[in-house]
Amino acid sequence: MPEAGASARRIGVLVSGRGSNLQALIDAIGRNELRATIAVVISNVPGVAALDRAAAAGIDTLVLPHRDWASREAYDEALAAALRDKGAALVCLAGFMRRLSARFLEAYDGPVLNVHPSLLPAFPGLDGPGQALAHGVKVAGCTVHLVTAELDAGPIVAQSAVPVLPADTADTLAARILVEEHRLFPQAVGRVLDGAWRIDGRRFLDV
């Protein structure tokens, strides 16, 4: 998947909350560690802090409340259309607390990246750190993966491990994992934008 110029490095970011992973992308771009332009930040929840972060960085924002659409598929088609209109060549889910349907993936037809607070395929879904503690694992972490219609099951782009400490709570473990998310997510976005990769079955491979 060869790089096709500046337009191929325009990304759209989907958010639902505080936007700390959005900020990590903004900061990495500002430090010239990530060669990309954030074309738009879209939230399905009005008034969240992530929108303020985007506005402070001079990034276009859009609020599309999912409750305004009659079905998940109709919402996802509108979301995909908004991203296409902004010329987003890659979509990043940065705390977007809504599962995208197969209809979105068909309508958008480009790579979509998510960062998840567990070492997938272990502990998909909500509260990865809490699940890790409940299962007594000794190592947790985060995963950046390509999004597919199956929940948290797309090809893995990058992972980072975090030790589980004896005194950890779900909150303290989540906080340490989040530090790694902020480091790993921009790196993985850059790797995908560079285009020197392919998918072989479930594997994300360099070319």
pLDDT at 7: 73
> Each residue's pLDDT tens digit in the chain (207 positions)?
334 466 779 999 999 999 999 999 999 999 999 999 999 999 999 999 999 999 999 999 999 999 999 999 999 999 999 999 999 999 999 999 999 999 999 999 899 999 999 999 999 999 999 999 999 999 999 999 999 999 999 999 999 999 999 999 999 999 999 999 999 999 999 999 999 999 999 999 999
C-beta separation of 20 from 207 below 8 A: no
Rounded Cα gap, residues 157 and 145, in angstroms: 5
Residues spanned by CATH 3.40.50.170 within the chain? 7-110, 115-196
DSSP state of 141: E
In residues, how long is the chain?
Answer: 207
Q: CATH fold of 115-196, please?
A: Rossmann fold (3.40.50)
Distances (CA, A) of 113 to 66, 79, 187: 20, 15, 12
Edge-first strand order for the sheet with 197-200 is 61-63, 37-43, 10-15, 90-93, 112-116, 139-146, 156-163, 203-206, 197-200
Residue 116 annotated as catalytic: yes
Tokens, residue 88: 């987003």
Q: Specify the pLDDT at position 6.
A: 67
Catalytic residue among 66, 116, 145, 182: 116
pLDDT in the model for residue 71? 93
pLDDT given at position 5? 60
> Please, which residues have CB within 8 angstroms of residue 189's CB and are 6 or more apart in sequence?
11, 25, 34, 36, 90, 92, 113, 144
What confidence score (pLDDT) does residue 4 get?
Answer: 46
For position 122, what pLDDT does the model report? 98
CATH architecture, range 7-110: 3-Layer(aba) Sandwich (3.40)
Say how many C-beta atoms besides its own lie within 10 A of residue 35's C-beta.
Answer: 14
Question: With contact defined as beta carbons under 8 Å apart, do 132 and 118 qualify?
Answer: yes
